[in-house]
């Protein structure tokens, strides 16, 4: 029978068997961010469209081709967020967090949406772990954020991930660079794609990020931004390189990195792998010193990065990294008869209150089928209750791995007695692995 409705193209379901992989990366990213002094912020999944046009840039692929925008009756245009930084900056300003002293450091895990051609590592609904830091122009802040990103990747167990860095300058030195780019690309006007022709006048730097093979080939011979940096930007970049080296973080300077969003200034960086095809950037970010002011705040230096959780998981899978294993059921309570089933319910409530994972029959299976189900869910222990057990007030607790059985009272001390046995078994399992 054919499904009447299927999931939208470019989206994916996370089934219970896969959710442990998400729990792994979410735990790693949250714990690492908090160890670096970042606190969680949550923003709406959609924002006023003008927020992204103003911040991301109207000459970017994101704004020109990829945003999901809607207009509800009586409302302005809203857009499902294509990235996390703009919403985070808006929230920091709107909630007065910029007045609470610097640096301000926040992180988030959020869904994002872009209308792109789906492929490995690229979905139309995807999820980002991102961090944002406000109120410091120091290259030490750049290095700290890059270190945070590297720590996440290291804790995930990833290997063969290269760090590429670049500086795209400040508005002053970038103006000179734009002149040089425009002069260079003018001689190729007949070959550039239609989108890049429009960028030539407004923002020629965006041509460097074009996905067209023809435009990419032309861009290979374009002037390099590092040759146009002002003294301050040059010093900032040299300091960053020195700090990264002192931290033992290997990097490669790649003058072709510009990132795909207009708000970046000075430092930009990417962590890249060759193991997931064309979409090899697993994490990227940089400075955006003008964005806070651009959105109505006071001039405030800022920086951050975002990592795609799907790409992290795909790369971890490719490299055989370990994921958190789902915790199995602690005990399955099998029953024969109505009185026994009611007692199973009573015991389950008691054990769950103590933090144990407990299951019992709720579909009317026979005893043999119940025990098969206990095996299927990998229950650590099982216990069968019938009229005899109810009458005697005790039952046999079975270790499903060893087959060992222990008589246990069903009275008030049942939860404590089970806890002692479960803890002892856990200790024995750990000892076996040492």
What is the DSSP code string of 206-228? GGGG---HHHHHHHTTSPPGGGG
pLDDT tens digits, one per residue of 85-107: 999 999 999 999 999 999 999 99
pTM for the whole structure: 0.88
Distance in angstroms (rounded) separating the CA atoms of residues 90 and 295? 7
Distance in angstroms (rounded) separating the CA atoms of residues 411 and 420? 15
What does the pLDDT average to over 309-313? 94
> CATH says 16-170+230-318 is which class?
alpha beta
Q: Which residues have CB under 8 Å from 382's CB, separation 6+?
A: 331, 332, 333, 334, 371, 374, 397, 398, 400
Rounded (5°) CA angle 131-163-116: 65
The CATH superfamily of 331-422 is Anticodon-binding domain (3.40.50.800)
Distance in angstroms (rounded) separating the CA atoms of residues 56 and 85? 9
Query: Across the chain, what does the average pLDDT equal?
Result: 91
Distance in angstroms (rounded) separating the CA atoms of residues 61 and 67? 9
pLDDT tens digits, one per residue of 289-309: 999 999 999 999 999 999 999
16-170+230-318 with 331-422: one CATH topology? no
pLDDT tens digits, one per residue of 138-149: 999 999 999 999
pLDDT tens digits, one per residue of 19-64: 999 999 999 999 999 999 999 999 999 999 999 988 887 667 777 7
Answer yes or no: is pLDDT of 430 > 60.
no
Q: Where are the domains of the chain?
A: 16-170+230-318, 331-422
Distance in angstroms (rounded) separating the CA atoms of residues 1 and 6? 13
CB-based burial label for 375 (10 Å; 0-12, 13-18, 19+): exposed
């Amino acid at each position: 029978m054919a499904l009447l409705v299927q999931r939208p193209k470019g989206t994916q379901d996370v089934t219970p068997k896969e959710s442990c992989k998400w729990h792994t990366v979410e735990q790693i990213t949250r714990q690492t961010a908090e160890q670096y002094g970042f606190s969680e912020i949550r923003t709406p999944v959609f924002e006023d469209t003008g927020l992204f046009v103003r911040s991301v840039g109207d000459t970017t692929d994101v704004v020109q081709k990829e945003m999901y925008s809607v207009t509800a009756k009586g409302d302005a245009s809203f857009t499902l967020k294509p990235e996390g930084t703009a919403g985070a900056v808006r929230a920091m300003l709107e909630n007065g967090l910029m007045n609470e002293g610097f640096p301000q450091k926040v992180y988030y895990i959020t869904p994002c949406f872009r209308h792109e051609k789906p492929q490995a590592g690229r979905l139309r609904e995807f999820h980002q772990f991102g961090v944002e830091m406000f109120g410091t122009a120091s290259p030490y802040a750049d290095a700290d954020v890059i270190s945070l990103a590297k720590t996440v990747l290291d804790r995930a167990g990833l290997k063969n991930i290269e760090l590429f860095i670049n500086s795209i300058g400040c508005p002053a030195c970038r103006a000179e660079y734009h002149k040089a780019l425009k002069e260079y690309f003018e001689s190729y006007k007949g070959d550039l794609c239609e989108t890049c022709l429009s960028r030539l006048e407004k923002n020629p730097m965006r041509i460097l990020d074009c996905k067209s093979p023809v435009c990419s080939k032309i861009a290979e011979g374009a002037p390099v931004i590092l040759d146009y940096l002002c003294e301050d930007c040059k010093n900032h970049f040299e300091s960053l390189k020195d700090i990264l080296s002192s931290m033992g973080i290997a990097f490669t300077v790649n003058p072709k990195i510009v990132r795909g969003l207009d708000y970046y200034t000075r430092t930009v960086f990417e962590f890249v792998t060759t193991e997931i095809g064309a979409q090899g950037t697993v994490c990227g970010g940089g400075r955006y010193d003008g964005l806070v002011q651009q959105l109505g705040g006071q001039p405030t230096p800022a920086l951050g990065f975002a990592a795609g959780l799907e790409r992290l998981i795909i790369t971890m899978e490719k490299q055989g990294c370990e994921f958190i294993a789902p915790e199995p059921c602690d005990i399955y309570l099998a029953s024969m008869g109505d009185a026994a089933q009611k007692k199973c319910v009573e015991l389950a409530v008691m054990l769950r209150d103590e933090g144990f994972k407990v299951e019992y029959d709720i579909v009317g299976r026979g005893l043999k089928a119940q025990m098969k189900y206990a095996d299927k869910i990998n229950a650590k222990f099982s216990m069968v209750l019938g009229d005899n057990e109810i009458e005697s007030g005790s039952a046999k607790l079975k270790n499903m791995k060893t087959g060992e059985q222990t008589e246990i009272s069903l009275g008030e001390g049942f939860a404590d007695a089970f806890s002692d046995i479960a803890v002892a078994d856990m200790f024995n399992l750990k000892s076996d692995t040492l």
